[in-house]
Homo-oligomer: A and B are copies of this chain.
Amino acid sequence: MPIRAAILGPTGYTGLYLIQGLLRHPGAELTYLASHRETLPNIADEFPQLLGQVPEQVAVCRPIDPDAIARSADVAFLALPHRAAMSYAPVLLDAGLRVIDLSADYRLTEPALYQKAYGHPHEDVKNLADAVYGLPELFRDDLPGAMLVANPGCYPTASALAIAPLLSRSLVKPDGIVINAASGVTGAGRVPAPHLHFVEQNESFMAYGVIGGHRHQPEIEQTLAIVAGRPVSLLFVPHLLPIDRGILATIYLEPASGDVTQDDLLEAYRDAYRDDPFIRLRKDPPNVKHVRDTNFCDLCVRLIPGPTPRVVVFSAIDNMIKGASGQAIQNMNLVFEQEETAGLL
């Protein structure tokens, strides 16, 4: 019996890649596309690449009706804006569905932190307490049987996977970490805006957002604090790249002591990710192009000697796959205790 999957909010980019991933998945079946639009679109009109790919009765979006969804599906992926996600999750859970939320609503465990980052109170504190943070390489054991999974942000995925092995083995200092990151434009969503016009982004490169105040910073700090067993301080600066997809994080840390060697660093990653099918350690700095359309996170670490020695880590993912929809499917596989890589290689 395949896992029957519904998607709420299928008309954004994460929706598209969820659809494509589920269509390819040998053990899952896409059964319901739920849209909050007044005029319910045929998904192949929204995404012409899907023409003829989605069974006709599924392709026409239906309303967000939790009971109807629960009759058709075992799991609901929320590809909704934040705030909308937590308005639907409780009823979907009550209807008996597993929920994998790709929004930010269940990522930060502290409601106060959520309110500070997103500007409004958390409205589902009860389920927030039970949500599992779905970064399998760090928290795989929490996933089997989980009812509600908070799928991590794209930058937090690239960053936490890059830094965790160093912090958990105390090879670097937990303060003063700098994460210089760059993302393709799919990361900015699909809603038109002046700065997302082709002519504004093409041949362009810049930092964006409130420098030092991006919403993904507390999420990264939260994950790393768990890994490190103590608070971690960092500065996160995102940039926008004139490409469709991909995140590269270039991360600067201070070695914990003068005794740390390049071999210590390499061994930390090999050890940490020994059994992780989606982590690839590279000798040379990775390129976002080489992880495109894959669920891989490519990592490279370098110890740079000098008066102020540094550890530099490079981390590349496809922001739409390992940074969103691929990781959501990886989480689904683990929740339903299927092969972790099913549909993803």
Contact = CB atoms under 8 A, between A and B. Distances in A.
State the copy count for this chain. 4
Contacts of A228: none
Given A280-B51, A302-B211, A304-B212, A205 B237 contact: no
B290 A199 contact: no
Interface string A284-305: 1111111111101010001010
B288 A204 contact: yes
Contacts of A180: 180, 250, 252
Contact of A314 (B207, B286, B292): B207
A136 B269 CA distance: 46
Interface in A197-250: 197-208, 211-212, 233, 235, 237, 239, 241-246, 248, 250
A185 B200 CA distance: 10
Interface of A: 13, 23, 48-49, 51-53, 175-176, 178, 180, 182, 185-186, 190, 192-194, 196-208, 211-212, 233, 235, 237, 239, 241-246, 248, 250, 252, 280, 282, 284-294, 296, 298, 302, 304, 306-308, 310, 312, 314, 316, 345
Contacts of A292: 49, 203
Contacts of A206: 248, 285-289, 314, 316
A306 B186 contact: no
A295 to B, nearest CB: 12
Query: 10 closest pairs, A vs B, by CB?
Result: A206-B287, A212-B304, A176-B308, A207-B285, A192-B192, A198-B201, A49-B290, A233-B307, A204-B289, A180-B180
